[in-house]
Amino acid sequence: MTIKEIKQAIEDGKKVYQHNLGYEVILDSIGQYLIHCNMHNTYIGLHGIKGGKYENQLNGNESDFFIVE
């Protein structure tokens, strides 16, 4: 999935995961898209910082992300 597809799925209320169900993509209360590791309760950004060099670079491979409906 592309960054755009992931964000659209989240906005549509779908659950998006990376690798397995332990890594859920979320939209936090201040509008950041994050990958939440449920096993360790840690977070990383879905992609680079807005306006930065890596803004459009997904934190992982497109093939690692999937929707569970």
Least confident window among 29-33, 54-58, 60-64: 54-58
* Strand order from edge to edge, sheet including 20-27: 42-45, 33-37, 20-27, 15-18, 65-68
Number of independent structural domains in the chain: 1
What is residue 61's DSSP assignment? -
Structural domain span for residue 16: 3-68
Mean of per-residue pLDDT scores for the chain:
92
CA pseudo-torsion sign 16, 18, 20, 25: negative
**pLDDT tens readout for residues 25-48:** 999 999 999 999 999 999 999 987
pLDDT for res 8: 97
What pLDDT is stored for residue 43 in this prediction?
A: 96
pTM for the full predicted model: 0.89
